[in-house]
Every structure is written in C-alpha cells, then in structure tokens.
Structure 1
Amino acid sequence: MEMLLVFFAHLNMCESKEKTFFKVMHRSGKEETSIEAKIRAKDKRNRLSLLLQRPDFHEDTPTSRFALLAKEPRVSPEEAVKWAESFDKLLSHRDGLDAFTRFLKTEFSEENIEFWEACEDFKKCKEPQQISLEAKAIYEKFIQNDAPKEVNLDFHTKEVITKSITQPTLHSFDAAQSRVYQLMEQDSYTRFLKSEIYLHLLEGRPQRPTNLRRRSRSFTYNEFQDVKSDVAIWL
C-alpha cells in the first residue's frame, strides 16, 4: 500500500505541537485581518463614491449654478440698451427682469428680487382671506428671523410688519419693498450693468460661463468620519 507524505516546508517539525499550532493560527489571523481591512477600505471607497454622486453634493458649485443661467432670453441689443436708462425700465421689461434675476443668482442674493416680485403680486390680492394668507406666506418666507430667504431690513421696519401681520392690508409690505428696491438700485443694479450677462446682451453674443462666487455646501464631520486620509485605503 502506497503512503502519501505531505511536507509543510514552513513548519519546523522539531518544535512543539503547541508552538507550531500557534504559528499557523497567528498567520491565519493576519491573513483574515488583511482581507477584512481590504473589504472595509473598499466599502469606504464605495460610500465616498456614492456621496460624490449625490446631486446635493454639487448643488452650490459653479457648474450647477451656471445651469441656472443656461436658458438665456433672446433680447435685441437695442432693447437691452434701454435697461441702462433706469432701474424702473429694467424691472418693467420681462426679459430685463429675468436677466437681472439671473445676475442676482450669481451673487446669491436672488431673495431680494423674489421678495420684490412677491410684494407686487400681493398688491393684486382682492379677497380678505387671500390677503391674509399671502401676507403670512411672505412674512414667513422673507421677513421673520431665520426665514429661508430673509431679506436685509432694519429692525424698525421688521417690527412694524410683525405687529401688523395678524391684520394685514395691501400696504403692509410697502416700506419693506421700498427698502429692498433701494438696495438693489444702488448696489446690485450698478454691478449688473457691468456684468458679463448684460454686456453679452448688448453685444448680441451668446451667454458664456460666468465667474461665480462659490458658496460651498456645509459638511458635517460625521459624513466623513469613516473616510480615513491614509493613502493605504485607496490601494
């Protein structure tokens, strides 16, 4: 009968059984640890890849902001010239209002023109119930402290609106609208007339990518606490 002999070159047969067993188990444990580490590293890379693909991850990058400017109205240079005559002429023209809104978005101050437009629409309300509902919506969106699109108003103006919001009238926001109008006219409007958006309209040229001031998305530590900076996890 033939006998099959198996030699373990990495084992020292002169050593005790306990010592040999310990070496084998120790080596096996290292291999398992190495495999687990690679699996964890791969999992971290996959999670980071998914995070980078999330739409809200890029929501405030120049590329995504430029997407808001992609649809440019067809305006003749002759018409665009008139917008420089006064701020009123700019806002009274639908395309002028759109172009100015697109410009404010590049400066992240579009809440001003949105508030002004909301006030214009509010003045058209006729029913008492509609006035009350619209006034409350404008107050919660633009006026109250920590509103999602809070406009820059002085304390006195905000206080008057806050006290009258329970029984609003069509003139409840007149002072605030006038204040925001002046801010846009004296500040944003002058920059708009020097902006690429406006200059391209004057020259009849298509819209080019605009240099935007980036407002980065706020990340919390918890989102990245599992992603190590060690280069080894990318290998």
Structure 2
Amino acid sequence: MEMSLIFFSQLNMCESKENAFFKLTHGSGKEETSTEAKIRAKEKRNRLSLLLQRPDFHGETHASRSALLAKETRVSPEEAVKWAESFDKLLSHRDGVDAFTRFLKTEFSEENIEFWIACEDFKKCKEPQQIILKSKAIYEKFIQNDAPKEVNLDFHTKEVIAKSITQPTLHSFDAAQSRVYQLMEHDSYKRFLKSEIYLHLIEGRPQRPTNLRRRSRSFTYNEFQDVKSDVAIWL
C-alpha cells in the first residue's frame, strides 16, 4: 500500500503562514486513500494550526514584554521623590496622578480623585451648553444620593450644588472639590506615601499586583478603568 509522507521540512519559515499551511496540508497533491493516513494528516493540520496561533510564532512576545517594562519604568525615582514634597506637587504630575489613582483603587476610594479630575476638566468649559451637560453628568455621577461614584460631602454642600445645577456656573463644584481635596490630602495622601506602590517607585522597582480590599458599597454603573480628562467622558 502506497502512502504519501508529509515532512515538516516542507515548511519554509520565510513563507507566509498561509502558504506553509497549504503545503503541509496538501502535500504533493496526491489524494489520501488510506483512513490511517487521513487521520495522521488531520492531526498534523491541527498541530500546525495551534503553532500558527501562538504569539511567539509571530514574534509578539518580546514586543509585549518590552512595552510592559517601558510602562513600569517610565517614572524615575527622582521624579517620584518630589511627589512627597506636597500633595499639589503630586497632582501636578500626570504620572503622580496615575500612581495615586492606582493606590486609591486598592482602597476602593478612587471616586475622590476621579471627581477632582472631573472638576478640573469642567472648569475648562467655554460653551454654555457644554457647562450644562458636564455639570449634570458630574452631579449624577458623584453628588446626588446613591450616585454610582458618590463622594463624601456634607448635607449643606450637596444641597447648594443641587439648587445651582439648574443654572450651573464654572464655580458650581468649587466647594465640593475643595472638600474632597482636603480629604485626600489629610488622609489618603499620607497613606499613599507609605504604600508599596509609592515605595517601589522611589526605589526604582517594577510594580507588583496589589491586593484589593472589600468594597463597602455596591455600584450599578460601570467603573472607570483608567482616569481620563477627555471631554468625551462627560458628554
């Protein structure tokens, strides 16, 4: 009984994966008449398919690792040390805000920094319609009772905002933003400076996954994955 043998030496790594796959699965073009040979050919096709799907087969692994390393080491220890000078110094640096946000997420209090960023973005509005739309979005997301990212504000501050939201100005959230800023400065910021996230940065070590604490309340809206100040977030 004649059988056509298929060798992996037929696979030319310089050819496209489609051509290589065609050669391996079709051989010399002769039809397989043996059931056993067909089974072996099917197994080889399956193995090749898995091989072609592996990321390292296409040279992606090294690039992915390099990108991750660059992200972890983009903050120099010298820059990170400056963040301990003051809370303002931390917030003035984009990477500082990113690191502080990562820390707040471990404590499930990232709504504070997100609200502060939203207020900073809101104060850049120029069009009346934009002011109305953004103020409403901020109020519903951070201020009103049972808001998905409700920040800790006293009743009086929330009441003033609720009354002004029908005719908002660029200063509608100033009191609330100041209150949240103080909470972060006197509480979260101090813990951040002692956290592993910050200590790894000033020591030039790569970040490690951090343990998350149980959240004290549930949310009904999607969480922010990253802190952004784009206008599209609030429209």
TM-score range, shorter-chain basis?
Answer: 0.5 to 0.7
Output the TM-score relative to the length of structure 1.
0.61
- List gaps (5 residues or longer) in structure 2: 1-70, 219-235
By how many angstroms is 1:212 displaced? 2.5
Q: How does 1:216-231 map to 2 (within 5 A)?
A: none
SS in 2 for 1:90: helix
Query: What is the CA–CA distance in structure 2 between the aligned matches of 1:189 and 1:217, rounded to whole Å?
Result: 22
- Which residue does 2:123 correspond to in 1? 123
> Closer, same or farther in 2 for the Cα pair 1:141/1:217, shift >3 Å?
closer
CA pair 158-215 structure 1, distance change in 2 beyond 3 A: closer
Cα distance change on mapping 1:123 and 1:77 into 2, 3 Å: same
The residue matched to 1:126 in structure 2 has which SS?
A: coil
In structure 2, relative to structure 1, the CA distance for the partners of 1:152 and 1:193 (3 Å cut) is same
SS in 2 for 1:104: helix
**Runs of 5+ unmatched residues, structure 1:** 1-70, 219-235
Offset at 1:153?
Answer: 0.1
Q: 1:172 to 1:216 in 2, by over 3 A?
A: closer
Q: Match for residue 107 of structure 2?
A: 107
Deviation at 1:73, TM superposition (A): 5.8
Change (3 A) 1:72 1:112: farther
Alignment partner of 2:145: what SS? coil
Q: Quick one: percent identity of the two aligned structures?
A: 93
Q: Secondary structure at the match of 2:114?
A: helix
Aligned length: 148
1:193 lines up with 2:166 in the alignment:
no
How far apart are the structure 2 equivalents of 1:217 and 1:164? 28
> How far did residue 217 of structure 1 move?
9.8
Kept in 1: contact 2:105–2:212 (CA 8 A): no
Query: What RMSD in Å do the two structures reach over aligned CA positions?
Result: 1.6
Question: Which aligned pairs between 1:176-191 and structure 2 lie closer than 5 A?
Answer: 176-191=176-191
Deviation at 1:210, TM superposition (A): 2.2
Give 1:213 deviation, angstroms.
Answer: 1.3
Structure 2 residue aligned with 1:137: 137
TM-score normalised per structure 2: 0.61
Q: Distance in 2 between matches of 1:202 and 1:141?
A: 34
Matches of 1:73 and 1:158, distance apart in 2: 41
